[in-house]
Amino acid sequence: MISEELKAVLLDVGLEAARRAGTLLRDGRPADLAVAATKTSPIDVVTEMDIAAEKLITAVLAERRPGDGLLGEEGADTPGTTGVRWVIDPLDGTVNYLYGLPSWGVSIAAEYRGETVVGVVAAPLRGETYHAVLGGGAWLDRTRLTCRGPAPLDQALLGTGFGYVRSRREHQAEVARRIIPLVRDIRRGGSAALDLCDVAAGRMDGYYERGLNPWDLAAGELIAREAGAVTGGRPGRPASGELALAATPAVFASLQPVLEEAGAWHD
């Protein structure tokens, strides 16, 4: 069992790393920023700033927590000896960042023996930093977060996202077509971490997406849960790349079977 002292240390380290990476991304963005590489498809992009931010974060972690493991979106993957593993997305919302849109963030989570115990999401252009500690609530700076109150599905505002492979996007569009008539509306923000934080902050009633990676999900899911949201995937399963869902308890109960019937968990 993890101690409160270790949780506090991990939170402090996560906040420092997120703050420094956020400052780099905000202040160091070149005017001629271009795509440095692609991943799953030609439109799934990486910029030089994604790579620079991950290097900065890993340097902070190596200095302050040299025995910990690490999993990062841009290739960092090292085992540790302490039971702690950091799961980082140095720039969640890269396409937004590339286009100069403000909805992007730095996502850093700490796991202890496989369980996420700390989550930090910094959104520099919003001037916001979200964090959560397992059992300690979710926070936006110094304000404790609580997800929205009960609402029927037809009054729910949802967030979602779409993958970058054509076949997956086509099916996700069909799922969205089936969901839209049943809810108040759907938003597509472009950053899974910020969508999960928006659920925590009561800015949306729920969020779902297929195809997330651990670094997309880890910090934001903990923040949403600590704010009172329910998270999961298909019925009886945890949130994963197959399907991730976070919502107020009432919306979760109504939305999960709809997503299951719509096949939101497969391409």
Q: Decide if 163 is inside a domain.
A: yes
Q: In CATH, what number is assigned to the domain containing residue 181?
A: 3.40.190.80
Q: Is the pLDDT of residue 115 over 80?
A: yes
Give pLDDT, residue 75.
81
pLDDT at site 230:
98
Clarify whether residues 140 and 59 are in a common domain.
yes
Sheet arrangement for strand 185-187: 185-187, 157-160, 206-209, 244-247, 230-232
| Residue 70 located in a structural domain | yes
Do 12 and 140 belong together in one domain? yes
pTM equals 0.96
Question: Do 166 and 186 lie in a common domain?
Answer: yes
Mean of pLDDT values over 144-173: 96
The CATH number of whichever domain residue 79 belongs to comes to 3.30.540.10
Residue 149 and residue 178 in contact, taking contact as beta carbons nearer than 8 Å: no
pLDDT digits (tens, 9 = 90+) for 229-253: 999 999 999 999 999 999 999 999 9
Distance CA 228, CA 234 (A): 19
Per-residue confidence (pLDDT) for residue 43, from 0 to 100: 62
Looking at 88, 119, 144, which one is the last position of a domain?
144
28 and 140 within one domain: yes
The closest of 125, 108, 98 to 68, measured between CA atoms, is: 108
Task: Report residue 39's pLDDT band, with 50, 70 and 90 as the boundaries.
Answer: confident
For residue 94, the SS3 value is helix
Are 206 and 80 contained in the same domain? no
Are 208 and 129 within one domain? Answer: no
Amino acid symbol at 194: L
Give the number of other Cβ atoms within 10 Å of residue 144's Cβ: 11
Quote the domain boundaries for residue 197: 153-262
Q: Do 140 and 228 fall within a single domain?
A: no
| 267 inside domain | no
